[in-house]
Structure formats: structure tokens, C-alpha cells
């Protein structure tokens, strides 16, 4: 599946590099390396990638949802979003288990670093919140910083979020204080 998504992203970039790509996410998650291939491609291509959660974005699905272009990450109102640490297992001799454990720690640190960047949450908070399954509603995911908006009006869906004059004024007042 990841190879198909990567190919589609590259194709859409080649067809019209100035047109935004909308990626709908309804995923329970999956392979970290496959997800990172999609993530790297999203960052490699020229168009902005808008992400929209429809149903469930869990694990790597939530990571990719958060990796959309800032200001263009959305969810439908009844969707669920879940983050957690990477899952895996180890077998073999002691050395093999050590190698696999180190690889899991690498993935955890890498994913949590990106989640911290995408959400604006501290790395400490991300580490704490991903220790176990952490489910959120669309509204909670917006407050957390995983998405930028909840689509309530389909006629206005997927438009860049306007900068609120009120929030800009509040920021100026806080800076002056």
C-alpha cells in the first residue's frame, strides 16, 4: 500500500507541482518504515499536502495526518485520532534482540521528535502521551496540535484557515505586556 501512495504522490507532483494534494487518512496504522517512506515523499514533493482524517487515524496514520502542510491538516468531526509508541517484537539470540530493541528505540525517538515539531508539544509531553494508546476526538486533536481544523461545513472544506484578527490582536497585546 505504501508504495502505491508514494507513486501517486510522485505522479501528482509531476502532473501539476503547483496544485495541492489532498490525502484522506482512514488507517489503523502500520509499518513504521512504510509510513516513513510516505512521510519522506510528502516532504520531497513540491505541492502542499493537505491531510484529512475520515474515521480513524491511529499510530502511523495519526503521524501522517499530522505531517500534512501546516494550516491544511483536518479531520471530520466524528473521527478518532490515536498516538502511541511504535509496536514490535524481538526474537532470536541475545545479540539479535539487542539490535531489534535499539532499532525500536531509534524509531520511537525519531517519530516523537517529528510529532513534537508537528504539534508544538514538548518532547517530554509527547514521550509521556505516547507511552500508552492516547485517543483523541477531532476537537481534542486540534487543541493538541495534530490538526489545524475540524471540517464542519463541507462547502468550506479544505480551504486554508484564515488568520483571525482577534488572535493577532491578542498576540500583540500579550507581547506588549
| Distances from the Cα of 29 to the Cα of 2, 82, 168, angstroms | 11, 9, 37
- Reported as a single tens digit per residue, the pLDDT across 30-55 is 999 999 999 999 999 999 999 999 99
Residue 37 C-alpha cell reads as 517512506
pLDDT of res. 62: 99
Q: For residues 84 and 115, is the Cβ–Cβ distance under 8 A?
A: no
Q: How many other β-carbons are positioned within 10 Å of the β-carbon of residue 12? A: 19
Give me the domain span that covers residue 23: 2-176
Residues of the chain with confidence (pLDDT) below 50: 165-177
Per-residue pLDDT at 90: 79
pLDDT of 87 = 84
Q: Which of 27, 66, 75, 84 is catalytic?
A: 84
Choosing from 27, 50, 59, 66, the catalytic residue is 59
pTM value is 0.85
> Domains in the chain: how many in total?
1
Q: Determine whether 84 is an active site residue.
A: yes
- CATH number of the domain that 80 lies in? 3.90.226.10
107 flagged as catalytic: no
Amino acid at each position: 500500500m505504501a508504495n502505491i501512495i508514494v507513486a501517486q504522490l510522485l505522479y501528482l507532483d509531476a502532473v501539476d507541482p503547483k496544485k495541492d494534494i489532498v490525502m484522506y487518512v482512514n488507517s489503523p496504522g502500520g509499518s513504521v518504515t512504510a509510513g516513513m517512506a510516505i512521510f519522506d515523499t510528502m516532504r520531497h514533493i513540491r505541492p502542499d499536502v493537505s491531510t484529512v482524517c475520515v474515521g480513524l487515524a491511529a499510530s502511523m496514520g495519526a503521524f501522517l495526518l499530522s505531517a500534512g502542510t501546516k494550516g491544511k491538516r483536518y479531520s471530520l468531526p466524528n473521527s478518532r485520532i490515536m498516538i502511541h509508541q511504535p509496536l514490535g517484537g524481538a526474537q532470536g539470540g541475545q545479540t539479535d534482540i539487542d539490535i531489534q530493541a535499539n532499532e525500536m528505540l531509534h524509531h520511537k525517538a525519531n517519530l516523537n521528535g517529528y510529532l513534537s515539531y508537528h504539534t508544538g508539544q514538548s518532547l517530554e509531553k509527547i514521550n509521556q502521551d505516547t507511552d500508552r494508546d492516547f485517543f483523541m476526538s477531532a476537537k481534542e486533536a486540534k487543541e493538541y496540535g495534530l490538526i489545524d481544523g475540524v471540517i464542519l461545513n463541507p462547502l468550506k472544506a479544505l480551504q486554508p484557515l484564515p488568520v483571525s484578527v482577534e488572535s493577532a490582536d491578542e498576540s500583540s497585546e500579550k507581547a506588549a505586556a
